[in-house]
Structure 1
Amino acid sequence: MHFTTLITPAILASAVLATPTKSQNKRAATTICGQWDSVATGTYVVYQDLWDESAATSGSQCSTVDSLSSETLTWSTSWSWEGASSSVKSYANVVVNQATGVELSTISSIPTVWDWSYTGTSIVADVSYDLFTSSTATGSNEYEIMIWLAALGGAGPISSTGSTVATPTINGATWELYSGPNGDTTVYSFVAATEQTSFSGDIMDFMNYLIQNEGLSDTQYITSIGAGTEPFTGSSAVLTVSAYSISIDTGSSSGSSATVASATSAAVAAAKTTTTSAQAQAATTSYKAAATTSAVSEPATTSAASTLVAASSTAQQATTLKVVASTSAASPATTSSTSTTTVAEWGQCGGSGFAGSTTCASGLTCTYQNDWYSQCL
């Protein structure tokens, strides 16, 4: 997610937060196409966030909010982007306004439902939740936790070593956990081993895993929860979200999942207002990489799927990286010998906190990109 919206925490007057209003006022769907446009509906805000559209040689993107009924939002985003294959162009996403300034230790569960589909040609993109936390309710981000439901055509999170930290089973699925620094932010990314196009689970299961296994403090506060897609390149792409809901349940935490409410079947539009987000115009960029010649071209009726390349999102630095696609999500882009390990072209070879090999393959030079990332070129 490429921006963070910080909202003064509301008084926790009940045990459930972030439940959208149950408005049954029927309105027409609202479509936004501007770089920083947003649509507020209930306690959700859908953001365009075309933060690096200027990197594309051509293309455009629009997002549509269709309806809100009870806690379930229906929306979509359509895009075509060409050029700068190593650069994410946007992060169209939905944010829950009231899911901010809540300490992890007070949360019993974060139930969520996300049903989605992707169509288009040569899609290189991800579909992911993106959470930020801080040691204070309105402080600067210290941790970013991403939950990748899919890495389409080649997208994956930053890693200090290029290898997975663990492969936990959460919510009945296997996830590949990566971690690494991104400026002053520590990034943890759970990447689904298989696409999760109909996800129903508890986000706190992921947070509790980090608390119990990776030393994440339960005194951290959530500053933002988003859910959306980051496109690199592709054409006639459409992410359709047929159901999305999320809420925060507070109270005594046992570390177990809460029952997730079923997505409602009604599709009645709620009141919406289109605004321009000042927060979205802040320094909200990312380290990212896209697949190059390995990107899979898919027909317009199927989901693009395939290989993984190193990448990450952050709201700290404006840097674009390029990484060669790999055929294995668990394997770093390196070649090994019995005496030394060399890093292949585009692979990471240095940076603050990096613990992998700093020796590039023959003919390549470890090139400084920023304080947290160098790569073999």
Structure 2
Amino acid sequence: MKFTQAILPFIFTAAAVATPTPTLDKRATTICGQWDSVVTGSYTVYQDLWNEAEATSGSQCSTITSLSGSTLVWSTSWTWAGGSNQVKSFANAVVSSTTKLQFSAITSIPTTWKWSYTGSDIVADVAYDIFTSSSATGSNEYEIMIWLAALGGAGPISSTGSSIATVTIDGVSFNLFEGYNGSTHVYSFVAASEATNFSGDLLNFFNYLETSQSYSSSQYLLNIGAGSEPFTGTSAVFTTSAYSAVIN
């Protein structure tokens, strides 16, 4: 993840790498540990409670329900209080190809994501989180986020506090923000309104960046995450009823 900023300043986020646990069987699997994860098919679902210490109270559990073909069903439930300008976790499903590919060699990244949120006083985002590098084994150089929702005032990294462009991709209007998380160059596409049933090709976002923002197709795709970053809220349940992402 990265440092994320809300309408209230200085909301922070970050990603951590956990060691995957065994592949999901036919029964639903629930995980509640800080670094717990479950592998199912091409996906790894992470709890990633990387910043839970900033909460005065709270907890999170994630449930992986099923996988049919490339379509994953999962959810996460949480309550967090305190540290209102701090992200507490990033429950997310990560997909990556065995061989890291340059974008010039990728023909498409079709994706669908149908999701819903319930709970009280939710401050959170719902987003794809994609990292790239100039080397297949290199560290993150770019982070591209695609926010399908910014709930309760959450907002992206921005050097200026304002969007640098507005673009429609796959039928959704996005405001584009740009900034840095340390040395990582961050672009965030933030949907103008909640996109709770998104279907498109993630490659279209990179094609736009290459054409309009000097992003290079020689970059390697490292991984694609998709999930929710919670700040605060009560009895929140984030449900993904259908998610898929395939790197072609």
Q: Same fold (TM over 0.5)?
A: yes
Structure 2 counterpart of 1:3, from 12, 15, 21 = 15
Structure 1 segments of 4+ aligned residues over 4 angstroms from their partners = none
Gaps of 5+ in 1: 7-24, 250-377
**Residue correspondence of structure 1 range 57-76 to structure 2 within 5 A:** 57-76=56-75
Assess if the C-alpha contact under 8 Å between 1:5 and 1:223 holds in 2: no
> Aligned-pair distance for 1:5?
5.5
1:37 matched to which residue of 2?
36
Q: For 1:182 and 1:37, locate their aligned partners in 2 and report how far apart those are by CA, in whole Å.
A: 25
Corresponding letter in the other structure for 1:203: L
Residue aligning to 2:218? 219
Count of residue pairs the alignment pairs up: 231
* Aligned residues: CA RMSD: 1.5
2: CA distance, partners of 1:72 / 1:186: 31
Q: Which residue of 2 aligns with 1:228?
A: 227
Deviation (angstroms), 1:98: 2.1
Which has the larger Rg? 1
Q: 1:182 to 1:39 in 2, by over 3 A?
A: same
Q: Name the aligned partner's letter for residue 46 of structure 2.
A: Y
- Alpha-carbon distance between aligned partners in 2 of 1:163 and 1:42, rounded to the nearest angstrom: 39
Contact 2:16 2:48 in 1 (8 A): no
- The corresponding residue for 2:8 is none
Asked whether the 8 Å contact 1:100–1:223 carries over to 2, the reply is no
CA distance, structure 2, for counterparts of residue 100 and residue 200 of structure 1: 25
Name the structure where strand makes up a greater proportion of residues. Answer: 2
Q: Deviations over 1:58-101 (max 9, x none)?
A: 00000000000111000000000000001100000000132762
- Cα distance in 1 between the residues matched to 2:74 and 2:84: 26
TM-score (norm 1): 0.60
Structure 2 unaligned regions, length at least 5: 2-13, 19-23
Q: Which amino acid aligns with 2:232?
A: T
Whether 1:126 and 2:138 are equivalent positions in the alignment is: no
Shift of 1:3: 2.7
* SS of equivalent to 2:165: coil
Q: Distance in 1 between matches of 2:17 and 2:25?
A: 28
Q: Distance in 1 between matches of 2:174 and 2:96?
A: 28
Q: CA separation in 2, counterparts of 1:69 and 1:232? A: 31
Alignment of 1:279-294 (within 5 A): none
Would the alpha carbon gap of residues 99 and 243 (structure 1) be closer, same or farther in structure 2, given more than 3 Å must change?
farther
Other structure's SS at 1:146 match: strand
2:47 maps to amino acid: Q
Instruction: Determine the structure 1 residue equivalent to 2:137.
Output: 138
How far is the alpha carbon of 1:27 from its aligned partner?
A: 2.0
Equivalent AA in structure 1 for residue 174 of structure 2: W
3-state secondary structure, aligned to 2:226: strand
Give 1:96-175 correspondences, 5 Å limit.
96-98=95-97, 101-175=100-174
TM-score (norm 2): 0.90
